[in-house]
Amino acid sequence: KKRKKKRKKKRKRKRKRDPERKLMVVFPSTRTKKQKKKQSKTKIGKKEKKIVKKEERKRRQTTNEKKRKENKRPEKEKKEKKEEKEEKEDISPPRTTPAASRNPSWKEIKDALGYKEENEKRRETENKEKEERKTKNRRSKNAQERKAKREQKANKEERKAKEQRKLKFKNEKKEEEKKEEEK
């Protein structure tokens, strides 16, 4: 506490000596909010404050006790209340018509306007297109495989023909060389 007081005094002294503050004109009517609050607090005496606090505490205690008593109600009463509630719920008359028939849903309105048939037709056409696409894809896949096989076969035959030509050429050369040697 002593330290706090000392610090306060120091701050006050500094503020008094501040040259900028000396230039400012301070009017007595302009009080800060804090100062006003302090004044209002000091108006109520300490004794009155204590009395108010005591009254508040008493009021709180009474409310808490009431709540406790309500919570400590015997289980029999609680069960009875529950049963009464259930009976009340059972008494309520059953609904003769379901909610959908009372207010027709958007789907039902659409069906009445003939959207249902259109949707079915559209779905059928979409399914047909899907199947066609699938078959097309299958056909194209098969065709591609056949094409690849054909190409492989052709390449094999070409290679064979090339090798045969080479062999022929080599044999011809050898025969020519033999003929030249014989001469």
Model-wide pTM > 0.75: no
* Angle subtended by helix axes 106-113 and 115-182, to nearest 10: 80
Q: In whole angstroms, give the CA distance from residue 162 to residue 168.
A: 10
Residue 93's region, left for phi above 0, alpha for psi from -120 to 50, else beta, is: beta
Over 60: is that where the pLDDT of 100 sits?
Answer: no
Question: Three-state SS across 10-42?
Answer: HHHHHHHHCHHHHHCCCCCCCCCHHHHHHHHHH
Give the tens place of pLDDT for each residue, 81-91: 888 877 776 65
Over the stretch 19-62, which tens digit does the pLDDT of each residue have? 666 666 555 555 566 666 665 555 566 777 788 888 888 888 88
Taking the C-alpha atoms of residue 81 and residue 73, their distance in angstroms, rounded to an integer, is 11
pLDDT of residue 90: 61
- State pLDDT tens for residues 132-141: 988 888 888 8
Q: Is the pLDDT confidence value at 127 over 90?
A: yes
Neighbours of 110 (CB within 10 A): 13
> Domain map of the chain by residue range?
147-182
Number of residues assigned to the chain:
183
Round to whole Å and give the CA distance between 152 and 144.
Answer: 12
For residue 116, the tally of other CB atoms under 10 A from its CB is: 13
Burial tier of 111 (Cβ tally within 10 Å: 0-12, 13-18, 19+):
middle
pLDDT digits 0-9 by tens, 142-171: 888 999 999 999 999 999 999 999 999 999
